[in-house]
Amino acid sequence: MNLRSPLGAAMAHGSARSGTGHWRDQRLGAVALVPLGLWFLWALLTRPDLGHAGVVAWIAEPLTAVPLALFTLVALWHSLLGTAVIIEDYVHGHGLKAVSLVALRLVHGLAAAAAIVALVAIVGGGAG
């Protein structure tokens, strides 16, 4: 049984019924980022050859490309969720908050698209 008034729902008062999804995704990303982040740091630190050809050959290996793609995209997703909560907490005023949240999605979306295109180009051999 739903005890919320239709007017309240129309005015978007009360729970938006999407809070637990955000909370759960944040933690899901966090758990995934523990091994992915440790792998990334370890991989970077143990790479003696950081010249262009060496890096391209390294990223083009599936055993690098797959975790690197996962790490980058999950990190950006986790970053979007985290920074959105900070803006929701500290940016006051409806307009500014909405604009900040849209800008945040824009930056993260652009970064994710750029990362995907870059990785596809490197793996596909487009990076001379």
Partner 1 sequence: MTEPNRPLSPHLQVYRWLPAMAPSILHRASGVFLSLASLLLVYWLVAVARGPEAYAAVGRVFGSLPVRVLLAGAIAAFWYHLIAGLRHLALDADLGFDKVTARRSSAAVVVLAGVATLATLALAWHQLVLS
**DSSP per-residue codes, 63-90:** HHHHHHHHHHHHHHHHHHHHHHHHHHHH
Q: Does 107 bind partner 1 (CB under 8 A)?
A: yes
Pick the closest to residue 49 from 69, 38, 64, 31 (CA basis). Answer: 64
Q: Of 25-84, which residues contact partner 1 (CB under 8 A)?
A: 27, 30-31, 33-34, 37-38, 41, 45, 48-50, 52-53, 55-56, 59, 72, 75-76, 79, 82-83
Characterise 45 by phi-psi region: left (phi > 0), alpha (psi -120 to 50), beta (else): alpha
Classify 41 as helix, strand or coil: helix
Shortest gap between Cβ of 5 and partner 1 (angstroms)? 15
State the amino acid at position 125 in one-letter form: G
Shortest gap between Cβ of 38 and partner 1 (angstroms)? 8
Site residues, partner 1 (CB under 8 A): 13, 27, 30-31, 33-34, 37-38, 41, 45, 48-50, 52-53, 55-56, 59, 72, 75-76, 79, 82-83, 86, 89-90, 93-94, 107, 111, 114-115, 117-119, 121-122, 126-128
